[in-house]
Each structure stands twice: as C-alpha cells, then as structure tokens.
Amino acid sequence: MRIWIGVFVLLAVQGAGLAAPRVTMVPDAPRPGEVIFVTLEPEQDLLRAACSWNGRSYRFQFRGEDGRYPLALPVSASTKPGEHRATVYWKYANGEMGKETIAVQVRPRDFGVQRLRLSSSQAKKYSSPDTKREKKLIWAALDRVTPERLWRGSFAMPVEGRISTPFGIERHVNGKFSYRHRGVDIAAPEGTPVRAAADGIVALADDSFLLHGQTIVLDHGQGVESLYLHLSRIEVSAGERVARGQVIGRVGQTGVATGPHLHFAVYAYHEAVDPFFWMDLPFH
C-alpha cells in the first residue's frame, strides 16, 4: 500500500509541475569588478524572473531568440571575497513559481591605493553645486536599460595609450579617502581619437561639465553602458547609433584632470565594473 502511495505522489508531482529553468553562470568564480553572465533556460515562457544578489534584485527583462533570458549581473568592486549566494526566482505563464539558490565563490582581489594632491581651486570643483547637475545627468544616462543587446563579443580599447590609473584603486585626495576609481585612465596626447568600445547608442554627449569635462555615455543595451570623460572634442550627438571602433571624440583634459587622458568606464546595471574584463569576455 505504501509503495503505491509513493508512486502516485511521484507521478502527480511530475505530471503537474514544469521543470525548473536551467540556470547557467559564467564565470562561476568571479573577482570583484567582474560581471556574471546569468542565463535562464525555461521550459515555457516566463511571466517574470529576477535574481537577488549582493543586496539588490535584478530582473530578467529580455528573452533572446533562442528562448533564453540573459542577465549581466555586476560583482561590485567592494564585494568581499568568499561564498556569496545568488537566488533566482521565476514564475511561469501558468502561474507556477520556483526559486533556486546558487553559491558563488568570489575570489580575492587587491585594487591598491593611490594618493593624489589637488590644489584648493581643483578641490573646490568637487564641492561646487554645478557638479550635482552633471552627476545627475550622467547617472540618468547610466540608468538606461535598452532591451536589445547591441554589443557583440569583447569590447575594443577606446584609445591607444599608457594606463595611468587602473580600475578599482582607492583614491586618497590630499591625505583623505575620497572614492574608488570607477574606470581606467588612459594617458594619451590631446587630440588622440577616442573610439566606441562596442556598438551602441549615444545616451549622453555634453560639453558643459566642470568636474567630468566633455562627456559621452554609450548605451550598449541590456543594462550595459560605457563612459568617456575629459574629452577635448565630442564628435557624436545624443540618440546617434555608433559602431565598435568608430571615432566618437578626442582625448583632452577638460574638467578636473592633471593632464590629457581618457577616463574610460563600463557600467552594468549602474555598477562600475572593470573595463578590461569586457575586453576579454569569458565566452564567444
């Protein structure tokens, strides 16, 4: 009798339930500042799905032609090494729901410290009320989430030059911790062409900023954006489509800068991630 009940229960569960979507994560052991590419492969269309990670919830908003749902999940530079948990929640169109928790090992990474001296007039620019406006405009551009994925494969270096400040380094200005460097600084002569790192749409092109200097933000789709600061010239306008490698502006030292260089940054869902990670993506 017991055996029959057991078999019946098993059949009932199998008959009623849709299988959990297959979840894949690449890379499976990321470092702080990298991105985990999560893919959901469900049996049927999902009504909605989300991933809770590092204190935030990220929605799966796009469905590829292959029926998979992709998500570029940022591992912020300040993530502590060790075991973290990502929980994926889903709801099928027929109302069935489920969740799966996946352990993610974050590897250790030391970004180092950089000490800077700024003159009092340069330091003042940081607290000028004008910088609130430019920060707001840049954040709004980085907030865009375009459903279409415009980038294909690894990003290109936007300019040839020497890396003067790497990504993630802690900046101490005039002896005090100020902020973590959210991009990479590439030193190059004024006027050197700056190229789009990947295909995208110009989300912001503004030559009026006091702190960031002449600024471009490119929207690469699915929550991924790239940022170019301190330009001497902007050669694109907002809304324009650009191709990987296309000249979008020129290296300069506008805004607060100690010499001609490009500050180049990549953001995933508003989180600054290592641009070099994007130049050698862990898949093809």
Which residues bind to Zn ion, rule: CB under 5 A? 185, 263
- Assign 141 to helix, strand or coil: helix
d(CA 185, CA 179) in angstroms, rounded, equals: 15
Shortest CB 171 distance to Zn ion, Å: 9
d(CA 184, CA 202) in angstroms, rounded, equals: 20
For residue 44, what is the DSSP state? S
Residue 185 or 199 having the CB closest to Zn ion = 185
Question: Which residue's CB comes closest to Zn ion?
Answer: 263
For residue 188, what is the DSSP state? -
Residue 88 or 216 having the CB closest to Zn ion = 216
Maximal CA-CA distance, the chain: 86
Shortest CB 92 distance to Zn ion, Å: 45
Q: Find the angle CA(190)-CA(249)-CA(189) to the nearest 5 degrees.
A: 15
Residue 106 or 217 having the CB closest to Zn ion = 217
Shortest CB 207 distance to Zn ion, Å: 18
For residue 252, what is the DSSP state? B
What radius of gyration do the chain's Cα atoms show? Answer: 22
Residue 220 or 261 having the CB closest to Zn ion = 261
Shortest CB 85 distance to Zn ion, Å: 33
Shortest CB 213 distance to Zn ion, Å: 11
Residue 134 or 185 having the CB closest to Zn ion = 185
Closest alpha carbon to 252 in 279, 217, 212: 212
d(CA 236, CA 197) in angstroms, rounded, equals: 14
Residue 185 or 219 having the CB closest to Zn ion = 185
Q: Find the angle CA(118)-CA(119)-CA(121) to the nearest 5 degrees.
A: 120
Shortest CB 277 distance to Zn ion, Å: 17
Written as six digits, the tokens of 221 are 């789709």
